[in-house]
Chain A
Amino acid sequence: AQSVTQLDSHVSVSEGTPVLLRCNYSSSYSPSLFWYVQHPNKGLQLLLKYTSAATLVKGINGFEAEFKKSETSFHLTKPSAHMSDAAEYFCVVSDESNTGKLIFGQGTTLQVKP
């Protein structure tokens, strides 16, 4: 069965410094991988997705993630944090049933300090 592990429940950075949110997955096949962001009192928004094309995926708002099959990782990065990046981030893997069903990690809260 697939699973997703987000290695940090809480990450704090200063504005203007790099962001790294770590994610490892477990799957018996080659899944699609996603990062979603959830701002307070707002719906989940897709940041980026990997679907077996280029291993370095660029998303919205300057975020990107690299799929590393050998490490079963899909870490999310951004070169320079902005105050508006403060939110909850979810790493997500597609279920092997190929129905689009998603399996979410526990989430990482990103705090951005001025």
Chain B
Amino acid sequence: DTTVKQNPRYKLARVGKPVNLICSQTMNHDTMYWYQKKPNQAPKLLLFYYDKILNREADTFEKFQSSRPNNSFCSLYIGSAGLEYSAMYLCAAGTGDTQYFGPGTRLLVL
């Protein structure tokens, strides 16, 4: 059984302030992903770690940072939050062609 946990579940941030979201997984999957999901839209891939290698999508390259200090943990960092960052942030872990999602962190930027 794969468990993906995300902390916090809800986050309130001020415009211009940094935001750090945390994800952990228990099954040692080699890849961890971060998606952004806005209401009535599909989840959108932001970046992923394949082992220790970070891959960021071209259109979000400058907006998000990430770190993976060990195989179980992965963070998503926003240096200066804007109103447009308000969304659900989904973390997933996977190996091969299967991904397992966490419950998400709902970020509201005011």
Specify whether A and B are partners.
Answer: no
**Chain B residues within 8 Å of A, Cβ to Cβ:** none
Residues of A in contact with B (beta carbons under 8 Å apart)? none
